[in-house]
Amino acid sequence: MVTMTLSVITSIVLLQAVLHFSLDQIKDKVDVTIYFNVGTPEEQILALEQSIEKLPEVASVSYTSADDALQAFRDRHSNDYPTIQALDELDTNPLGAYLSVKAKEVSQYEGIADYLKSDDALALNSASIIDKVDYSQNKLVIDRLNSIISGAQKLGFLITLILILISIIITFNTIRLTIFISKEEIGVMRLVGASKTRVRGPFMVEGAIYGIIATILTLVIFWPITVWLGRNMTDFLGFNIYDYYLSNFLQIFMMILLSGVLLGMFSSFLATRRYLNK
């Protein structure tokens, strides 16, 4: 039962890793793009870029020049002959440079958009060089994404808590049944004057041993499982669970070991309490 409990905890750890990876992938696809007027001097754009990079909410800022923007547009429409032909007929580059700003958290994009309207940004003549900022167009998507991420994290925590509580209750009842067999032995020890700590000690040590053995069994069980998942589910999940299991093996081992030992000892402590209070 302790092994099953630790298996549930290990499964939750791996599922949480997949969840966080998926959420991070979604976050990476969200940004705020600042488009500049055609012909804006690069020095002014770079000055605004440096000021944005100093914001605590900003994770990164990438600059795309007008020439690079034109080349990227050509690459995207390489199969659209009329569009490419129309570009070739122009004597000048119709596209301006732009900045792509990524925030540390999805909820912080609004703060970045507000900064662009602030006096600090206006002091850099941002109002005269910025053509548009796509935050207002993406605001609905960003707000929904922020709600989904927040809801997924809360739901994940709630499910984790419920499963762990169920596992603890099952383990506690199993150990209590084991100690029930020794209730007469506990009674005799109490009659001859043994203290509660002396009576409880061996059972808590036994519970700790259960936890250690269950930890080893759990890690052995999950080794082939993560190997199979790594080989067959990486393309589907976009995340190699086996690599995660190996790279974080020490942390997982320590967490499972601590959980197993504490679970065994705590369950033994509670289970013996009933007979020691008689």
- One domain for residues 94 and 76: yes
CA dist., res. 37 & res. 45, Å (int): 10
- One domain for residues 205 and 244: yes
- Helix runs in 95-134, H state only: 109-115, 119-122, 126-129
- One domain for residues 60 and 139: yes
- pLDDT digits over 44-74, tens only? 888 888 888 888 888 888 898 888 888 888 8
Tokens 């990227």 appear where? Answer: 72
Q: What angle do CA 219, 224, 225 make, to 5 degrees?
A: 85
- One domain for residues 270 and 176: yes
CA dist., res. 98 & res. 36, Å (int): 6
- Other CB atoms within a 10 A radius of the CB of residue 124 amount to 16
What pLDDT was estimated at residue 253? 92
Structure tokens at 78: 């390489």
CA dist., res. 194 & res. 275, Å (int): 13
CATH number at residue 81: 3.30.70.3040
- One domain for residues 37 and 131: yes
Q: What angle do CA 200, 201, 207 make, to 5 degrees?
A: 90
Residue 99 lies in a domain: yes
The sign of the torsion formed by the CA atoms of 191, 192, 196, 199 equals negative
Residue 247 lies in a domain: yes
Element (H, E) at 34: strand 32-36
Residues spanned by the domain of 98: 29-144
- pLDDT digits over 219-235, tens only? 999 999 988 988 888 77
- One domain for residues 13 and 86: no
- One domain for residues 10 and 66: no
Cβ proximity of 52 and 118 under 8 Å:
no
Residue 158 lies in a domain: no
DSSP state of 104: S
Walk along the chain (278 residues) and give the pLDDT tens digit of each residue: 778 878 888 888 888 788 778 777 777 777 788 888 888 888 888 888 888 888 888 888 889 888 888 888 888 877 877 877 877 777 788 888 888 888 888 778 888 888 877 766 666 666 778 888 877 666 677 677 677 777 777 777 787 778 777 777 777 777 777 777 777 777 777 777 777 777 778 878 888 888 899 899 999 999 999 889 888 887 777 778 888 888 899 999 998 899 888 888 887 777 777 666 65
Structure tokens at 121: 């940004």
- One domain for residues 104 and 14: no
- Model pTM score: 0.61
- One domain for residues 139 and 207: no
CA dist., res. 2 & res. 169, Å (int): 11
- One domain for residues 179 and 267: yes
Structure tokens at 189: 């020890």
- One domain for residues 193 and 266: yes
Q: In total, how many domains does the chain have? A: 2
- One domain for residues 43 and 105: yes
